[in-house]
Structure 1
């Protein structure tokens, strides 16, 4: 593939947090930090979602970024106008096009737990990227998009949002499943789920061309790992 590397970023289309009455979607810092890394390396980015069009940004992630004085997320919101997440490509339009990209990336937020976890188009897309030998990556709740891809994670090393972290935010009863549990099931006894020594610590797991990050603190590291994998470093 010639020219600048191309990354396909798949965002959730789901905007309701179970039956809590609260909004959800994709998590700001988990897109903003990798996005910043990709752009600094002159990567070309395509954003897609199951429904196409506007992909919902979790408002709580905006508040979290403000509370943390997250300059990267603030810059991401300020400098990307018109906002690319407001006009994502429909996921079905990407089928059969894995050859056009170097990597597939799923940011988190609770939304993917409700739609991407069971989305057959997304799963078919993941299979295409794997079969084409491309990088597949996800962070926080993003790995929910991988657990239903039959056999993909068996025997692999992975991470994702931990049970402890889900309980800490009080949403273990709102999500359709606990991601850590589902990842442990998917990797099987010959694989391994890994996590940081303490909740909210950074953890990035690289297993060949499969890259996963545990939580928001891991988003930048996932972006950097994707760049290294694509560049062959």
Structure 2
């Protein structure tokens, strides 16, 4: 199993003066699930190098066994500091792609032509594509081979409007994940706020929130194995 993980390079939370990036748990939990299952994992980001970690995701309240493992894992930290540039990776080299969330992807990956083309190519090659929390928002402009939105008519989930309201960023983010998935024809569903919830529809796997990241990875591993 060769899996590509794509992280954001965007570190500014709108005009708030606060920092954002990727949510560490949404990277660490799937990374270890995949690596422990024997997958060879490559990490990429639009700018390459060290992707920004959302500082809030490092707070004590959000620590999990996976983030604690990451905190002690100098090898993975070194790997993370040297991510490949997104425009230098190709779908041919991997069996699947996984996008962790955090708010950062809404600003860069959702409009990144390299990311859009990469997801479309994975899908065209009948390879699974997985997204958790805010990451389903990167599907905003991604098309299926028939030219319609990749989510049209598909069962999907992603960070809900009520969860975005709870973190008081509804007016800060460039768009709401739930709204965009629905506008593009996705059959959106959700669990209670902050509860684990992941859906597979064919090659497309989506998870609602940080608590769903391990479940998305589990479904992806199931498909690959």
Regarding TM over 0.5, the answer is yes
> SS of 2:48's equivalent?
coil
In the alignment, the residues of structure 2 paired with residue 80 and residue 172 of structure 1 have an alpha-carbon distance, to the nearest angstrom, of 36
Tell me the TM-score normalised to structure 2 length.
Answer: 0.94
Q: Give deviations 1:182-217, integer Å, cap 9, x for gaps.
A: 01011x2xx410100x11111101001110000000
In the alignment, which residue of structure 2 is the partner of 1:92? 87
| Structure 2 gaps, min length 5 | 144-148
In the alignment, which residue of structure 2 is the partner of 1:148? 141
Aligned residues: 219
Per the alignment, do residues 31 and 69 of structure 1 end up closer, same or farther by CA in structure 2, a change over 3 Å counting? closer
Q: Give deviations 1:7-52, integer Å, cap 9, x for gaps.
A: 0000000000000100000001101111111111110000000111
Q: 2:127 aligns with which of 134, 147, 157?
A: 134
In the alignment, the residues of structure 2 paired with residue 124 and residue 100 of structure 1 have an alpha-carbon distance, to the nearest angstrom, of 15
> SS of 2:50's equivalent?
coil
Q: Are 1:211 and 2:209 matched, yes or no?
A: no
CA RMSD across the alignment: 1.1
Deviation of residue 62 (structure 1)?
A: 0.7
Equivalent residue runs for 1:169-184 within 5 Å: 169-184=167-182
> SS of 2:110's equivalent?
helix
Q: Are 1:67 and 2:65 matched, yes or no?
A: no
Deviation of residue 119 (structure 1)?
A: 0.6
| Structure 1 gaps, min length 5 | none
Deviation of residue 68 (structure 1)?
A: 4.4
In the alignment, the residues of structure 2 paired with residue 84 and residue 18 of structure 1 have an alpha-carbon distance, to the nearest angstrom, of 28
Deviation of residue 67 (structure 1)?
A: 1.9
In the alignment, which residue of structure 2 is the partner of 1:16? 12
On the 8 A contact 1:194/1:205 being kept in 2, the answer is no
In the alignment, the residues of structure 1 paired with residue 159 and residue 62 of structure 2 have an alpha-carbon distance, to the nearest angstrom, of 19
Q: 2:78 aligns with which of 62, 78, 83?
A: 83
In the alignment, the residues of structure 1 paired with residue 35 and residue 141 of structure 2 have an alpha-carbon distance, to the nearest angstrom, of 30
In the alignment, which residue of structure 1 is the partner of 2:54? 58
Q: 2:105 aligns with which of 112, 123, 128?
A: 112
On the 8 A contact 1:28/1:58 being kept in 2, the answer is yes
Tell me the TM-score normalised to structure 1 length.
Answer: 0.91
In the alignment, the residues of structure 2 paired with residue 53 and residue 28 of structure 1 have an alpha-carbon distance, to the nearest angstrom, of 16
